[in-house]
Amino acid sequence: MKFTVNTKALKNATNLGIIKSNISKYFYRSNVVQITANHDTLKINIEASGIKTKMTLGGSGDEDATKSVIVDCSIFKTLIDSIESDILSIEFVAGGICIHAGTSKFSVPQMLDSNDVQLEEPIDNFTVSNTVTIKPADWQFVKDHQMYAIATKESHPVYKNVWVGNNNDILVGDFDLSLFTYSKRGDFDSVCLFPPTIINLFTSLPEGSTVSKVGRSYILNIETDSYSMITEFMPRYEDDESVGSYNAQMIIGMLAHPESFITVDVGAITKFINQAAILKQSDLDKIFDFILNDGTLTLTNKTNSYTMSVDSSDSYSVKFNSELLKNVLSNFDSDKVNIAPMTRGDMTIGCIFWTDSLTTVLAGMG
């Protein structure tokens, strides 16, 4: 069977549906795409962790039959992107597909037998309610300035997700590192947890896309003149088995901006940390004393030091892992960052860092 389709429509559909950053060796189905055709419809099924997508395009099949194949999604997307002819044909053959474009013919091998495996489809019969408009720029901010802090270890699995509150709150952090970032970029009306794949989905969407809550899932429905897309994404919830509490309210309670603070030049401090790293002789050299004393901020390890004058009469000191401190400062969207101590009784246990758009807390060492 051979199915003919508009090339631009197929490009637009695959570029929206196949998100490169969601392809993972830890979730095999994210590496493939299922292509199904009949006499007048081409259907493309895509999966990622927590996401199920169905793209539908019109076209013309030369048989009154249904054919399906599962191929590598990266190869398929890259090949379709490279085709310049106005139309192309997908021929279903033994062991894969052949793509005909102009005078060219390309063979794409089958990855899985579609008789044995079917990619899951999203819910496509639902009532629109509790609609949320996705703002890709806000989620890009989360991705660019907060996702560096997300936990990667399995010791506390809840922190491998982004916590989304019902008051625009977004928390991303790592319990083991005592590092948390906070912004007001959320737009959902119920508390849930998003894995990184869902954040990647949001940043890839057209402006003005809306989603509707259906049970414990959300449904995204995009209709254009050339294709349609239905995506179901499944947040995690703190009452899910083996997830647990994010302790978000306790964390947010630590994020109030103190009245007394210093403002530092991010570039100057990160430059010094980079320079000191060149001279590092052991991991102990990564430990820096962060000392504020009567208008002078000093950053020092065993052999290197940097000082700057600041407008403050406060005095405190805390030890930081210099690599973590650099990550915190360099992921702000500003050249200047405010810093104040986090205290427990008379003891300084870390620092709070903030600008108008982002707040981060980092605990000290020891």
Average of per-residue pLDDT values in the chain: 95
**How does pLDDT run across 209-267, given as a tens digit for each residue?**
999 999 899 999 999 999 999 999 999 999 999 899 999 999 999 999 999 999 999 99
Instruction: Answer yes or no: are the C-beta atoms of 284 and 302 closer than 8 Å.
Output: yes
In sequence order, which residues have a C-beta less than 8 Å from that of residue 330 and are 6 or more positions away? 266, 270
pLDDT, average across residues 318-334: 97
Q: How many CB atoms lie within 10 A of CB 51?
A: 24
**How does pLDDT run across 11-44, given as a tens digit for each residue?**
999 999 999 999 999 999 999 999 999 999 999 9
Give the 3-state secondary structure of residue 333: coil
In sequence order, which residues have a C-beta less than 8 Å from that of residue 218 and are 6 or more positions away? 132, 211, 212, 232, 233, 234, 235
**How does pLDDT run across 275-321, given as a tens digit for each residue?**
999 998 888 889 999 999 989 999 999 889 999 999 999 999 999 99
Instruction: Give residue 272's pLDDT.
Output: 96
pLDDT band at 8 (very low <50, low <70, confident <90, very high): very high
Instruction: Give residue 226's pLDDT.
Output: 95
Instruction: Give residue 126's pLDDT.
Output: 75
Q: What SS3 string covers 183-219?
A: ECCCCCCCCEEECHHHHHHHHHCCCCCEEEEECCEEE
φ, ψ of residue 74 in degrees (nearest 5): -65, -45
pLDDT reading at 366 higher than 90? no
Residue 221: both structure tokens together? 């429905």
% pLDDT > 90, the chain: 91
pLDDT, average across residues 55-72: 97
User: What is the rounded CA–CA span in Å between residue 114 and residue 251?
Assistant: 47
Q: Which domains does the chain have, with CATH numbers?
A: 2-112 (3.10.150.10), 131-252 (3.10.150.10), 262-363 (3.10.150.10)
**How does pLDDT run across 112-147, given as a tens digit for each residue?**
998 899 999 999 877 777 789 999 999 999 999 999
In sequence order, which residues have a C-beta less than 8 Å from that of residue 277 and are 6 or more positions away? 286, 322
